Amino acid sequence: MQKQKRNFLLILSLVIMFFGYNDLKSNGWITKGNTSLFLNEVTLSNWAKGGESQVALTGLFGYLINYYAPDSNFIWENAFSTGYGFQTSDQYSYRKNEDKLELDSRTGYRAIQQFYYSLSFSFQTQFDKGYKYPDDSNIVSKFFAPAYFILSLGMDFKPTNNFSVSFSPISGRLILVEDNALANAGSYGVTAAKYDSTGKIISPGEHSRFDFGVAASVNYIFSPMENINIATKLDLYNNYTDPNIGNRRNIDVNSETTVNLKVNSYISASIFLHLIYDQDIPVQIFKTINGAKTFVGVGPRLQIKQTLGIGFSYNL
């Protein structure tokens, strides 16, 4: 698996280098990117009010490679983003707090005015093992567990290069869970293993799941004022081939918003908000019973992740 990871990262690097080189010699190519490194640190010594020392380090990289044919109605937009972060404190030596690897590609051909026939591809996974802290013994994610591949055919409304609305009535989604324990548990919607009365596995869990449905997305990038840039996207997916007919009414939601506040050419602040709701991803549910946080079961819930960082940022 480590060799596959290295090969995959090498391929992505070559792709970025290839398109970056072509941008220098070909008309129609537009490339831009950003790399950021954020450090949050708290040091306490003999602090009477309590607390603990903590250090958090997060690195982010994003790159856009877009092609707008100067003499035709063809467009091709590509976005690559990755990030990794961790934190340490007096109570633990290492905990992951950011981990993503995403690639999006979309081609379009003008149908009429601001409407385009479109074909899009999306890939998402993470680099490292993930845990539901404070439990650091049982993994809940790893490289290609899960991994999402989405291929969609539809129509785009694109009045400007910074705003688009996409609707894809033909959309296939492949979910991979390349880990036996997670597959046997039925994580991320794959079919779980079946056991006999003694707890022995009769049939192992499946490592993949294919959904066929309808997808929609909204992407918007804007600057409400100087030195502030906001990028937001909303992805919706409905699986109308779900074997559980009741689930066909559910819509998977993925929303990401990034606010970059630029101080100068190298210093910036970043706010990131990520919302996920997926009926097939149960999370642990806790309730306060007799003043104590008590585990009461699992079920789908709105997942929320928010980060704030101040540090080094450089536009490519």
Q: What is the mean pLDDT of residues 2-24?
A: 46
pLDDT single digits (tens) 180-231: 999 999 999 899 999 999 999 999 999 999 999 999 999 999 999 988 999 9
- For residue 153 the two structure tokens come to 């055919």
108 alpha carbon, distance to own chain's centre = 23
- pTM of the predicted structure, to 2 decimals: 0.84
- pLDDT at residue number 9: 47
Q: What is the mean pLDDT of residues 260-285?
A: 88
Q: What is the mean pLDDT of residues 119-138?
A: 92
- For residue 80 the two structure tokens come to 């690559």
d(CA 301, CA 314): 36
- For residue 309 the two structure tokens come to 């960082």
Which CA distances in Å does 69 have to 115, 220, 223? 16, 22, 26
d(CA 215, CA 170): 8
- The H or E element that residue 16 is part of is helix 2-25
Query: Domain residues of the chain, as ranges?
Result: 2-315
- Residue closest to 33 by CA, chosen among 10, 17, 9: 17
- pLDDT at residue number 100: 94
Q: What is the mean pLDDT of residues 141-170?
A: 95
Residue 14 pLDDT grade (very low, low, confident, very high; cuts 50, 70, 90) = very low
Q: What is the mean pLDDT of residues 95-116?
A: 94
- The H or E element that residue 13 is part of is helix 2-25
- For residue 227 the two structure tokens come to 């030195």
- pLDDT at residue number 26: 52
- pLDDT at residue number 16: 46
- pLDDT at residue number 68: 87
- What is the tally of helices (H) and strands (E) in the chain? 2, 18
- pLDDT at residue number 308: 85
Q: What's the whole-number average pLDDT of the chain? A: 87
User: What are residue 75's DSSP bridge partners?
Assistant: 68, 108
Which CA distances in Å does 61 have to 12, 79, 270, 309? 13, 11, 13, 14
* pLDDT(11) > 60: no
The residues, ordered by sequence, that sit 6+ positions from 160 with a Cβ below 8 Å of its Cβ are none
d(CA 263, CA 247): 46
Under 8 Å between Cβ of 22 and 45 = no
Q: Angle at the Cα of 264 (from 262 to 267), degrees rounded to 5?
A: 70
Please name the fold of domain 2-315.
Answer: Outer membrane phospholipase (ompla); Chain C (2.40.230)
Which CA distances in Å does 66 have to 4, 57, 103, 146? 28, 30, 13, 28
